[in-house]
Structure 1
Amino acid sequence: MFGNDRTQMRRYFTEAWRKASAGEELIPLERMIADVIQQHPEYHAMLETEESVLDKDFLPDLGETNPFLHMSMHISLQEQISTDRPNGIRPLYQQLVMRAGDSHEAEHRMMECLGQMLWEAQRQNRMPDEQAYLSCIRKLAGR
């Protein structure tokens, strides 16, 4: 949707949050983004000062977490779960929700597996390994 345009993607997040905060009508993707942002009050003030974050580099070496990456991973997981793709992720997620106690915490746990899969694929210059990803989530779910 945004290609490699980091600023455009970030602006979409800040605009979705602005519209949600103002009670404006949202399209489904904006609603999904606003729902994820709602679950992260630690990002609200930052998103309300749009210009300060559009070009900011979040540096892990300095202990910084990229809030846009974090929220995008939530959205990716929700899309995977809603379509059960990769096949079998939905029941694993449901088991993990039972184990973790709530859906948000389950997604946070799954992010470790998602991040690992993407990092490995990038490092080895290959497609992501869905079976390794599902295996990681199975371990989290206690299977």
Structure 2
Amino acid sequence: MFGNDRNSLRRYYCTVWDKASASQPLEPLEQIIAAVIRAHPEYQPALINAETALEREYAPELGETNPFLHMGMHIAIQEQLGGDRPPGILDVYQQLCRRVGDSHAAEHRMMECLGETLWEAQRNGMEPDERVYLERLRRLAR
């Protein structure tokens, strides 16, 4: 969406949340982002002031979750589901939803697989392996 420009991405989240909070019309992508933000009330305060959002660092080693990364992974998974890419991910997601009983919880579990797959790709300097990613997801759904 914004490449590697962290500040543009964070500013966009803040803008979308401002529009959604004011009940302004949203573009399709903005609707997806607003729905993810609504599902995470704990992150909403981070979106109120764009300048603060741009400056804030999150330290995983201190147990901090980066809300922008977390919400971005939800959006990535929803995009994957919308296009059934990699092929078969929608079926696996539906199985996982039945298994855990909640779509949001299913996405959280899928995020672990996505994160691992992205980390491996970055470490190896390669594209993410969709086959490995889908197999990890299938193991979750069993």
Deviations 1:76-122 (A, max 9, x none): 00000010000100000000010111110000000000000000000
- Give, in whole Å, the separation in 1 of the partners of 2:130 and 2:37: 27
How many angstroms apart in 2 are the aligned matches of 1:53 and 1:20? 17
Query: Which letter does structure 1 place at the counterpart of 2:73?
Result: M
Alignment match, 1:5: 5
- The answer for the alignment partner of 1:34 in structure 2 is 34
- In structure 2, what is the Cα distance between the partners aligned to 1:31 and 1:116? 27
Is structure 2 residue 65 aligned with structure 1 residue 65?
A: yes
User: Which residue pairs with 2:138 in the alignment?
Assistant: 138
Letter in 2 for 1:114: L
Percent identity of equivalent pairs: 59
User: Does residue 127 of structure 1 match 2:97?
Assistant: no
CA-CA distance at 1:62 after TM superposition: 1.6
Deviation at 1:49, TM superposition (A): 2.4
| Cα distance between partner residues in 2 of 1:40 and 1:135 | 28
Query: In the alignment, what sits opposite 1:89?
Result: 89
**Unaligned segments of structure 1, at least 5 residues:** none
Distance of 1:67 and 1:91 partners within structure 2: 27
1:72, distance to aligned residue in structure 2 (A): 0.3
* Number of corresponding residues: 142
Point out 4+ residue stretches in structure 1 off by more than 2 angstroms: none
The AA in structure 2 aligned to 1:128 is: P
**How high is the TM-score relative to the length of structure 1?**
0.96
Letter in 2 for 1:71: M
Cα displacement (A) at 1:50: 2.2
What TM-score does the superposition give when structure 2 sets the normalisation length? 0.97
Instruction: Give RMSD over aligned pairs.
Output: 0.8
d(CA) in 2 for partners of 1:85, 1:139: 17
Unpaired segments ≥5 residues, structure 2? none
